[in-house]
Amino acid sequence: MARSFRQMAVVMIIPALMAVALIPRDAKAWVAPPWIDKIALMVMEQKNLSTSGDFAPYFKQLETVSEAAVKGEFNGKRKGMNRFLEMLETKEGGISADAAHKIFATVVKSVPYAVLLPLKSEDKLDPEEKALVERMKRFAAAIKDQDERAALAF
């Protein structure tokens, strides 16, 4: 009886050790940052509230940014978010200005600044980085103007 218990213990321990050995050591490397999920939720909310416009390109672009984030590609995240902001600025897919502004506000509140804005002086920026900075300034000014008009309406 004692021998069969030992055999059963060995038979149970070996698969358990194999399972532990197969568990990924760094599971967080496969997870996209939470700020991407926050933006996706806002895009989904605006899609559900909107009566017109195609939001599919925005989800596709967020998927591209998420893939770059999972791979640890900082430039991929920055370029992907630059493209996402460009889409918002041009209201690609025919989305409303209100939806674009709400999504932009979520982007500004959620995305780390290092991803959105280059951390060097403006005179040392390459053309793509300059375009991103200008896009951020224009969008921020438009939202400020919209908020001021809304405040005056009350």
Q: What is the pLDDT of residue 149?
A: 77
Question: Is the pLDDT higher at 114 or at 35?
Answer: 35
Residues of the chain with pLDDT > 70: what percent? 79
DSSP 91: T
Q: What is the pLDDT of residue 17?
A: 58
CA dist 100 and 91 (Å) reads 7
pTM of the model as a whole? 0.67
Q: What is the pLDDT of residues 76-107, one digit of tens each?
A: 888 899 899 989 989 999 999 999 989 998 99
Q: Are 75 and 114 in contact (CB under 8 A)?
A: no
Q: Are 118 and 129 in contact (CB under 8 A)?
A: yes
